[in-house]
Chain A
């Protein structure tokens, strides 16, 4: 039976608005800024290099580092989001054999500025 009539009662946009998810994902990885005017053409490289530095201290993968730029009012905000790995990593923090100066300062799961 054709249930298309049920769609009528669905609010527009109440379904998964996957297009905006796609746009957010792409805006981080696309290097377009390098080609046109903006000065923030280093984002993909910054992300890559940050990852390399972080990898020295913590086991971390690419999905756990996000770099984003948002315009708020008159100014651009560079947002950096690093999600530290699972509780096993937290436990290791007490372990003096593993030297982890970068993260020992940050008790919370994600550091954001």
Chain B
């Protein structure tokens, strides 16, 4: 899309974003170094090799989580805004611990990513409660953080069989705006193996679904594409292997 964008990994102690993005060997300084004044933002932010305007700010792998202070996070985000970043993506760790709290605190939008599984849906509900109460916007009495729902590892065929909560079920349960569902795809695991985000393969359904979601986030009206199971012919039904079950077992 060409926006100047930076992604910050807030999972202090369990650094992961650099690995998924394929820049783990170029990490020198991290978020905590910047907060402690041991490095500048310019030194710590890693420029993506594929996209001109994308940067990654990695989490530290070893240090104590308490080093991630609210004032420190605020100064980092202010510094990034001054450096001309238009989108600052805070990648939150799972759970409701300090790292997640810091990732959400200064947010304007929150994309709640969940799969259609009971424990994930309940956790999402909990996070939505925190987004309403424990953020800068909530504490200052400003407009609440805008929340968006993103369903991952979605399998329309299993939904059809009644084995998986449908996107409608999850929307009903969580009651927030639905951005889209990412179909279960073996390429997602292969992408993280290679350190190349899945979105770079435009022939893949998961990549197309992610791209749709990005466009919707930016305000474009795109029809939902991956919510229906593909029709299977008579012979496929008779002799087809049960693809969706085997895919679900991957990663």
The smallest C-beta distance from B158 to any residue of chain A, in angstroms, reads 8
A12-B161 contact in complex given A7-B237, A23-B169, A26-B122, C-beta closer than 8 Å: yes
What B residues does A31 contact at CB under 8 A?
125, 129
Interface SS of chain A: helix
Q: Are A19 and B129 in contact (CB under 8 A)?
A: no
Which among A16, A20, A32 is the interface contact of B173 at CB below 8 angstroms? A32
Chain A residue nearest in CB terms to B160: A12
Q: Are A22 and B174 in contact (CB under 8 A)?
A: no
Q: How far is the CA of A8 from the CA of B172 in the complex (A)?
A: 32
What B residues does A27 contact at CB under 8 A?
172-173
Q: How far is the CA of A15 from the CA of B245 in the complex (A)?
A: 14
Contact-size category for B: 20 to 34
The smallest C-beta distance from B174 to any residue of chain A, in angstroms, reads 6
What is the interface size of chain A, counting residues whose CB is below 8 A from a CB of the partner? 26
Q: How far is the CA of A27 from the CA of B125 in the complex (A)?
A: 11
Q: How far is the CA of A4 from the CA of B2 in the complex (A)?
A: 47
Q: Are B165 and A32 in contact (CB under 8 A)?
A: no
Q: Is B191 an interface residue (CB 8 A)?
A: no
Q: Is B163 an interface residue (CB 8 A)?
A: yes
6 interchain residue pairs of minimum CB distance: A17-B162, A32-B175, A30-B125, A36-B175, A5-B238, A23-B169
